[in-house]
Structure 1
Amino acid sequence: MSGSHGQFVLDTHNALFDRGDVSVLESAFADGFIEHSPLIAGDRDGLRKMVEDAGDAIGYTNARVLADGDFVALHGRFTGLDETDLVGFDIYRVENGKLAEHWDSLVPVEEPNASGRTQLDGPTAVDRSADEEANRERAVQFFTESLIGEDYEGFRRFTRDGVFRQHSPDIADGTDAVIDFLADLKAKGEGLVYDRIHRTVADGQFVLTHSEGSIAGSRHSYAELWHWEDGVLTEMWDAIAEVPKDEDALHDHGIF
C-alpha cells in the first residue's frame, strides 16, 4: 500500500473490528473524531458500544487498502455487526497521526453474480507504476458523463472490446450487461440517480468514488471502486446503501 497512513489505518481498524480491542479508541482516534456511519450513533462512544455489543462475534477480513494523502479506504468484510455479514468500504481521514473522521458504505454479503464473481474477489495488489492522478481524472470524467449524466454508452467509451469485469451481485460481466441493467431500471422508473461525488480515493490503478444520489426516490450512498489498466476501465466493485430517513437524528453532520 502507498502513503504513510495505509498500514496505520489497517492495523487500527483490524484491532477494533477484528480483535475487539477498544483501547485503540483512545490511542489512535482523535479526541474530536467525527463518525459519519449511519450504523453508529455517537462518534467514539458509538464505536465502543458497537464493538462491545458484538462481543466475540466481531470479525473483519480485509481485501484492499488504498492510501491517498490523508485518506485511506479499506475494502473488506465484517462479521458480528448485523444478522448477516456485511461487505463494503470504509474511508478514514488521518490528521496529526490519528484517525479524525470516518465514512462507510456497507451492504449484506450476497451470492456470486451470474459471472461467478463475488463482492471482494479479483485483483488486490496496487500497481505502483500506475498513475493514480491520471486514473482519478479518468474516473471522474467517466462518472460525470456516464452516471451523473446518465449516458450509459460511456461504459463503451471508457472500456475496450466489451470487456468489463463486474463484482456487483446483480450484474454479469461485460459492457452490454451493465448498460442493459441500468437502462432497464431507468425505464421502470427505478433508475440509479447520481447527484454528485463527495470524495475520491485513488491509489495506483484503483479509484474509489464516494457519491450520493437516489434509487426510486430513496436517498442512497454509493461507494464504487474502479480498476484501470493502461487508461482503460476494466473492472468494478460496489456497495450501494440506502440512507436511513432518520440519519440526521444520528449525526448533526450527516453521513457524507
Structure 2
Amino acid sequence: MTDMMEVAAIDGSGSFPVYRALPAGTPKAAIIVIQEIFGVNAGIRKKADDWAALGYLALAPDMFWRFAPGFDVDPDVPEQMAHAFEIRTKFNVDKGIQDVEAVIRAARALMTGGKVGIVGFCMGGRVSYLAATRTDIDASVGFYGAGIDAALGESHAIAKPLLLHFADQDHFIGAEALSAIHAALDPNAHVTIEEYPGVDHGFADTFGKRRSGEAASLAEARTRDFFAEHLA
C-alpha cells in the first residue's frame, strides 16, 4: 500500500510531503529514499515500492518542498532535464539534512523503534553521505553522489556503515574527485566503495535511457545485501 504523509520540519518552517510505501506485514526496518534533482518522480516512487515489497517501510521525502513543491520530471526529456538543473540550484543541503533528520524521527515513531537506513541518488547520494556524517542513521547508501568530495572534511564523523557506488566514466564526478574520496574514506572500516567500469552517471536509474542493466543490477543486489545485514 502507498500513500502520502506529512512530516514537520525541524526548523519550524512548516511540513513537507513524504511518499510512503508500506510492506504487507510488520516492517523489518525503514529505508528513506532520497531523490535525484528530478523530484519524487516515477522512478523514485518505484524504488520505494520495491523496498516495501522486500518488507521495509519506505519513505521518499520531497526534498524540494521549500521552493518547488511536488517537482516531478523525466530526465529523458531534454527540456525537463534542463529545468531540473535550474531548479536544483535553489536546494539548501543543510536544510535538506535537517529534513532527513525529521524523516528519521518519523520513521522510528511509525515503527515504535527499529533501524533506519537511507539510500540516495546523485544529489541524494551526497545527502546520504551527509546523513552518515551528521545524523544517527543506522546505515547509508549513496549512488554516484556528486559533491561528496567537497564534504570530505566531515568524514571523521562516519561511525556506522556507509556504502558508496560510483561509475568510473561519470562525467559529473571526475577521476580527481573519486581519488580524493578514496583517499579520505578508504581508511574508515565503516565505508565500502564500489566502482562500476564502463558506465556513466545515472546508471542505476529505475528505468529510462540512463540505466545500465548489468551494473545497475549488481549495485542494487549489493545494496539489498548491505541493508539486510546492517538493518537487521
Task: Give the structure-2-normalised TM-score.
Answer: 0.27
Q: TM-score, with normalisation over the residues of structure 1?
A: 0.25
Bigger fraction of residues in helix: 2
| Structure with higher strand content | 1
Larger Rg: 1
